[in-house]
């Protein structure tokens, strides 16, 4: 109901009602909660008034471009706690809040029911008639006529039992309450919500270097990427993430294995952005032209995928910005510019941008325009490199600017840093966030971390995107490991989180050699050279990846994060968890030991699976097709990592 139909919202009295403890609210409403189109916002609050007064309340909400507020009544949960829900139906900025007021009609009805003396009942009837008449004045048509008739009946002289029957009309009471003047009304603050398209909640990322997709001995192009789209789409990926596609600096260019002396034929790191051919809005000439890139964007969409583009705000020494905007880079006392470092890593081929420059306004506009340029080329997904090294206030501003241009844009925060920093970036508007999954390996570590992501208040703003590897990170547990480790880590990533990604073909081929002991860098890292991958290498993970990604698409339970529940296991080498969406339930048991057969009992939280204690049911392993009869909460499992790393069960009652 809109404001025009709610003229009685205007309040002539002081705000007697109280609204407290509104949820969800991120930092008291300083930041927006996140939803995707079609999801509900479930709002709760403490609502009450002084003495014995009763209150009524509603959630008021409006979507992007709306001036009028819509309303949905709240239901009492007891002990002054109230709840209501509404569904968001389009992308953009939403607002919601709570209105609470003294409900005189509810108090009147409650007191009338306790009256037994005829004079008291008659007087109470007159009081009720006045309240009902006030409601009638706030409406029109048939409803107004019904309320006027009810008020007249409450005023009439009649037998006590007849009057009681008139006063106890629940249908008319609810009509009167809906249209009653909102005496002592209080309006809470308006809380923000940002609504994204569905891919923000559910996406499957595949990272690959275009220059390594060419014919043997040749530098790959965008046309070569197009030749691989069918293969990547067939594995079930819907986001194709490309490292930076810009010209690569020649000054201080890195050689193979991150050496500081490049050979003439070394191609350098794509993150060393900028050369005489251009900077962040230019394309590396060996990849193709702008028209080639636009063609790739459309070809990717034709395969049901989208391009995700890398945004790295840094510059090679020969980036045009270094020449044209020297104030954007901090100079040392000797006049040189300090290259980027992330000890023990050193990036001699990269200059960090100085966000404390006096010319910061022009810098911000230039960085914003990088995003907007690529948005206008059809890119709607960006993976942002190291956002935690740039000021928070910049990200809040630039994300708002991007959304003004295109609210469908999705931004992934690549920040492996302190928890508060990662969470602040998510609050500021990054759609998805990298996580610590890459280094969580034990049952306890996995359980604790994902319960935090799925069940704490952080879930209102922090959408995890989990990666078992990246071009920068070959985690220790994957180093020199066999394919069983790669398989189990993949199943964890793809089923624990609705958003996950992998760096391929390195991952599906089990690339596992570190540069040196104690390092998480790959030996012969693709960051510094063109690789020739044997995509048909025996024992690769492509069949498993394809199968699990198909299950992700088929099962709504795997397409969201909040329903995640962990189940107790006797064996610490097993981790068990489930997800549920209505009647769709997926139960996963993973063997975390890549070397040995592990067996034990899984103890299910049956209610979380929609089952009653003692019920017989069947579980079907969607990886093998095997069906097992189970009964009750405790059931036996045994997993051989060399045959299959996990059970991915669906339930049959």
Q: Annotated active-site positions, please?
A: 385, 414
| Helices (H) then strands (E): counts for the chain | 14, 30
Peptide bond into 24 cis (omega under 30): yes
Q: Which two tokens stand for residue 178?
A: 């809906």
Distance CA 558, CA 455 (A): 16
Report CA torsion sign: 467, 468, 474, 476.
positive
Q: Which two tokens stand for residue 29?
A: 């409403």
Distance CA 21, CA 57 (A): 14
Instruction: Indicate the SS3 state at residue 174.
Output: helix
Q: Report the side by side order of strands in the sheet with 598-603.
A: 627-631, 616-621, 646-652, 584-591, 574-581, 565-569, 598-603, 634-639
541, exposed or middle or buried, with CB in 10 Å at 0-12, 13-18, 19+? buried
Closest CA to 396 of 17, 31, 21, 1: 31
The total of other beta-carbon atoms located within 10 Å of residue 338's CB is: 12
What is the dihedral angle through the alpha carbons of 557, 561, 562, 564, rounded to the nearest 10 degrees?
A: 70
Task: Decide if 181 contacts 138 (C-beta within 8 A).
Answer: yes
Q: Which two tokens stand for residue 373?
A: 């340029």
Distance CA 66, CA 287 (A): 45
Task: Decide if 439 contacts 485 (C-beta within 8 A).
Answer: no
Distance CA 275, CA 282 (A): 10
The residues, any chain, with a CB within 8 Å of residue 108's CB and separated by 6 or more, are 124, 127, 128, 131
Extended strands (E) in 493-603: 499-503, 565-569, 574-581, 584-591, 598-603
Q: Which two tokens stand for residue 254?
A: 């890195």
């Amino acid at each position: 109901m809109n404001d025009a139909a709610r003229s009685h919202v205007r309040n002539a009295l002081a705000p007697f009602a109280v609204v407290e403890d509104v949820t969800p609210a991120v930092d008291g409403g300083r930041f927006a909660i996140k939803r995707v189109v079609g999801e509900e916002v479930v709002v709760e609050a403490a609502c009450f008034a002084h003495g014995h007064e009763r209150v009524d309340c509603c959630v008021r909400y409006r979507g992007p471009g709306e001036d009028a507020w819509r309303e949905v009544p709240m239901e009492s949960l007891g002990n002054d706690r109230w709840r209501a829900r509404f569904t968001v139906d389009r992308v953009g900025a939403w607002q919601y809040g709570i209105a609470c007021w003294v409900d005189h009609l509810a108090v009147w009805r409650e007191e009338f029911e306790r009256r037994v003396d005829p004079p008291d009942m008659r007087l109470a009837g007159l009081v009720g008639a006045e309240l009902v008449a006030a409601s009638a004045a706030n409406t029109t048509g048939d409803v107004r006529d019904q309320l006027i008739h009810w008020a007249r009946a409450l005023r009439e002289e009649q037998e006590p039992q007849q009057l009681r029957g008139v006063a106890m009309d629940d249908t008319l009471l609810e009509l009167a309450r809906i249209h009653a003047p909102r005496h002592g009304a209080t309006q809470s603050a308006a809380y923000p919500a940002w609504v994204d398209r569905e891919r923000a909640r559910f996406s499957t990322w595949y990272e690959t270097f275009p220059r390594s997709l060419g014919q043997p001995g040749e530098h790959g192009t965008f046309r070569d990427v197009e030749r691989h789209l069918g293969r990547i789409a067939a594995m079930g990926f819907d986001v194709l993430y490309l490292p930076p596609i810009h010209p690569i600096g020649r000054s201080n260019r890195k050689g193979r294995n991150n050496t500081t002396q490049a050979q003439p034929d070394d191609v350098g790191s794509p993150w060393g952005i900028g050369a005489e051919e251009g900077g962040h809005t230019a394309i590396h000439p060996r990849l193709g032209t702008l028209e080639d890139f636009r063609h790739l964007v459309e070809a990717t969409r034709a395969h049901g995928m989208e391009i995700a583009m890398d945004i790295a705000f840094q510059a090679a020494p020969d980036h045009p910005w270094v020449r044209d905007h020297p104030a954007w880079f901090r100079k040392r006392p000797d006049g040189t510019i300090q290259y980027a470092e992330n000890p023990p890593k050193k990036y001699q081929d990269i200059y960090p941008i100085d966000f404390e420059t006096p010319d910061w306004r022009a810098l911000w506009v230039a960085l914003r325009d990088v995003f907007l340029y690529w948005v206008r080329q059809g890119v709607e997904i960006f993976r942002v490199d190291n956002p935690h090294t740039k000021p928070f206030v910049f990200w809040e501003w630039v994300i708002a600017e991007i959304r003004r241009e295109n609210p469908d844009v999705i931004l992934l925060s690549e920040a492996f840093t302190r928890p508060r920093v990662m969470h602040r970036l998510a609050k500021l508007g990054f759609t998805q966030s990298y996580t610590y999954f890459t280094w969580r390996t034990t049952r306890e570590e996995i359980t604790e971390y994902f319960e935090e992501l799925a069940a704490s208040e952080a879930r209102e703003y922090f959408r995890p995107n989990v990666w078992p590897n990246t071009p920068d990170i070959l985690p220790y547990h994957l180093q020199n490991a066999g394919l069983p480790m790669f398989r189990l880590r993949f199943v964890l990533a793809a089923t624990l989180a609705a958003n996950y990604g992998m760096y391929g073909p390195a991952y599906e081929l089990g690339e596992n050699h570190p540069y040196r002991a104690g390092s998480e860098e790959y030996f012969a890292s693709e960051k510094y050279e063109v690789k020739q991958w044997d995509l048909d290498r025996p024992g690769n993970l492509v069949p498993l990846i394809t199968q699990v990604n198909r299950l992700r698409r088929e099962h709504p339970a795997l397409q969201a994060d909040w329903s995640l529940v962990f189940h107790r296991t006797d064996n610490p080498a097993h981790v068990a968890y489930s997800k549920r969406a209505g009647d769709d339930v997926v139960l996963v048991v993973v063997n975390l030991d890549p070397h040995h057969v592990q067996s034990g009992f899984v103890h299910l939280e049956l209610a979380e699976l929609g089952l009653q204690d003692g019920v017989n049911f069947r579980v079907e392993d969607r990886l093998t097709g095997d069906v097992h009869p189970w009964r009750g909460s405790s059931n036996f499992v045994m997993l051989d990592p060399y045959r299959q790393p996990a059970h991915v069960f669906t339930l049959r009652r």
